[in-house]
Amino acid sequence: DQVSRASSMLNPGSGEAPGEARADGQDREAEVTVPLDSIWPSDNPWDVPCLLPEMQAESVPYPVWTWGSIGHRRPMPGTWHFYTADAKFESLWKRPNRVAASGPGAICEPNFSTTDQTPMAHALWGVFRRRWLGRYWQQLGLRLFVDLNVDARLHCPCPGGGDCPVNLLGVPRGWRSYSSRAHAGDPDSLLPEWEIAKEWSGSESPLFLVVGGGKAVKALAQQHGWVWVPEQIQQIKARAAEAANP
């Protein structure tokens, strides 16, 4: 698959030519292996990039960590997820190659926040960015989970996009690896996402990684065959409780 070059307007703010010297003395050219103004093949009227099915996640490499919880250059052979404040990963739109520095085994798409009041144009921009970054990371050799944790409107067909949900623009039919974030107070909100994963994958048992939530979410995951991991704050609290009550 050939990498095409296009206007740097596709990646506003990249503004750094390969080879540009950094203040800390490191050469940016050594970090950039795929051009930051690349465009990718698309199968939809919105030019949202298509993902590579051969580079989807096939398992959940352990540990599963929140991006920003440790330094991005520290070795981390597990799975990065972005179920955190957008401010902690917005900079990746300018420097997406940082994700590869830790050598992760897999990565979830960035979860650009949406609500029922988010204008559709803005929501589509978020879908474009998560898909562009996902394809970029696939080109770097990273396996990918497609994020399903979006406002319910984005699970509806896209105007002009046929029967494809807005959030799945660029995701090939048959894609089998997905991720989402659970909320302890509303575990059943995961069930519609699970149905979408099954329908789009054409399988009754796609790989579904769920981050966070309490005992009810864990029980739901066991019931449906999902991979559940607690959020890091939950893990920290659990370790503190064990230390206090040996």
Distance CA 162, CA 224 (A): 29
pLDDT of residue 233: 60
Higher local confidence (pLDDT), 152 or 14: 152
Question: Beta partners for 34?
Answer: none
pTM summary value: 0.82
Residue 9 has phi, psi (to 5 degrees) of -65, -20
Look at the chain and count its residues.
246
Distance CA 225, CA 60 (A): 13
Distance CA 29, CA 71 (A): 21
pLDDT tens-digit readout, 88-105: 998 899 899 999 999 999
* Residues 179/111, Cβ–Cβ less than 8 Å: no
* Residues 197/216, Cβ–Cβ less than 8 Å: no
The predicted model gives 3-17 an average pLDDT of 34
Residue carrying the six token digits 């992760």: 104
pLDDT tens-digit readout, 166-202: 999 999 999 999 999 997 678 999 999 999 999 999 9
At 13, the pLDDT band (50, 70, 90 cuts) reads very low
Helix (H) or strand (E) holding 146: strand 143-147
